[in-house]
Structure 1
Amino acid sequence: RPAGAGAASSALAFVNHARTGGALRIAEDGLLAGPTVRRLIEACRAQVLTRAADGEDAVCQHIVIGAISHDPDEPYFRRFPHPVIVTRAEKVDIALAAMRVNPVCLILTGGGEPSPYIIDRVAASRGTTLLLTPEGTVETMRDIEGTFGTTAFAAETKLERIGELMKSALDDAALAALIA
């Protein structure tokens, strides 16, 4: 909020939950709100079956639930950048459809033994971490939904992103006011 808009003349504030960015405004950003894979592992008490090259610091931007009662839908998964996809361990067709969009993380629920084919496919991709949770899909979703918007800005990806957003939101005068 610019100075003089209900604030002291030297005050500078960033609008939270802004839908659009602009001068002195940083729009809400899914990447900044997203949890790291490490945080998801902790939240749902998951066993790590394979790790991505980016490791547990990779950031997930969206939770996507794999379909339960109809055909897997790759175009549905493609709508969401940097997803964590959650599906039952025995739904091999859905897991394989999910892998075609290179999710950051694939969580298999229910604690059952996953297909070796899924494990091999994920391990070969090197871009996806594969987790197995002991709980069902609904319980796993409850466990991980609270991680969005509550994870620290410790991941390098988040620090780079907030730098980009601040660069576009702050002019030289605003930056000087922040430093002073």
Structure 2
Amino acid sequence: MPGLILLSPEPLAGKTTVAAGLAQRFSTEGKTVSVRRMPGDDHAENDAALFSALKGASQDQAAAEVELIEAPAGDAASSLAEFPDARALIITSALTPMNVLADYCRQAGDRLRGAVINKMPARRADSLIAEAKAAGVDLLATLPEDRLLATPVLRDVVEALSAQTEHFDSGGLRPLDRPVIAPISADPGQGYFAGYGASAVIVRSDKPDLQLAALNASAGCLILTGGLPILSYVLERAEEDQIPLLRTGLDTITAVERIEAIFGSATFAGGDEKIKRITELMADWDLAPLFG
């Protein structure tokens, strides 16, 4: 079966996300599938590592029934020339003007098997689909805006905050989908945090009472701001449940601003929760046109 090359006119359009979802679909259908990442941009190394760790994906490209190839964003012609027999699937953001998408699709010629519009706002879905059809774009599918997929993982947060970590080995791909900022009051009790089901609590490093309350409420992670040392009994309590601790010298407001900045703009890092979510969102896609 010929390969399928995933192209996009702009970075962070969702090619890696779609590639991971397609790999899971083909794998569950009983096909052997390989996924590779072409070099050429800053994301290539991380994407290649993600693909090599995908459950159900084969590292033996020669033996695979389906080969998925993610190309760098931008120039489609050179990527298509490198794989002259591959079909093409184009992934783009809902922010891309439809005339730009149509022009980009034309570069693939008769090798094009469709386009996917990612991060589709529900309120604009009908109008954007109509615009795409009017521009001559052959849509394979759309992906809605999704909070979990847009969420950075803890590994991204560590980088954004230049944070030091404790108990982090197994938590790097955990999504930060429900962060909570601890209140100013001395100790609202763990019930305050339990009510949020927080994936992370952002708390000042000089507030051990709030830190313990969050840990006792099973917060998924503590992000401690201000740079002060973590007290020993807080470290011991976190160690009991292996709850990741991130310590940054930034103040709380700056830390929150940096975390906000990476929501929706971080690369797809994988992890079981995100892989499960993209597989669910793509479950009803008709994949027959891809190799027809």
TM-score, normalised on structure 2?
A: 0.49
Q: Report the structure number with the largest CA radius of gyration.
A: 2
Q: Secondary structure at the match of 1:131?
A: strand
CA distance in 1 between partners of 2:164 and 2:118 (Å): 39
Q: Residues 14 and 142 of structure 1: is their aligned pair in 2 closer, same or farther, counting only changes over 3 Å? A: closer
Answer yes or no: is 1:32 the counterpart of 2:149.
yes
From 148, 159, 168, the counterpart of 2:275 = 159
Decide which moves more: 50-59 or 93-102: 50-59
Contact 1:18 1:25 in 2 (8 A): no
Closer, same or farther: CA 53–41 of 1 in aligned 2, 3 Å:
closer
Name the counterpart of 1:83: 199
For residues 14-53 of structure 1, what are the structure 2 equivalents within 5 Å?
14=118, 16-18=120-122, 26-48=143-165, 50-52=166-168
**Residue aligned with 1:54, SS:** coil
Residue equivalent to 2:289: 177
- Larger fraction in strand: 2
Identity of aligned residues (%): 36
Task: Give, as a single letter, the amino acid of the residue that structure 2 aligns with 1:93.
Answer: D
Structure 1 counterpart of 2:276, which letter? E
- Indicate the SS of the match to 1:150: coil
Q: 1:130 is matched with which residue: 229, 238, 245?
A: 245
Contact 2:116/2:143 (8 A) holds in 1 = no
Q: How does 1:62-141 map to 2 (within 5 A)?
A: 62-69=178-185, 71-81=187-197, 83-126=199-242, 128-141=243-256
Find the residue that maps to 2:120 and give its secondary structure.
coil
Equivalences for 1:50-65 in 2 at 5 Å? Answer: 50-52=166-168, 54-65=170-181
* Closer/same/farther in 2, CA of residues 102 and 179 from structure 1, 3 Å limit: farther
**Given the superposition, is the C-alpha separation of residues 25 and 78 from structure 1 closer, same or farther in structure 2, using an over 3 Å criterion?**
farther
| Stretches of structure 1 lacking an aligned partner (at least 5 in a row) | 1-7
What is the aligned length?
165
- Using structure 1 for the length normalisation, give the TM-score: 0.76
Q: State the structure with bigger RCO (CA 8 A, min sep 6), 1 or 2.
A: 1
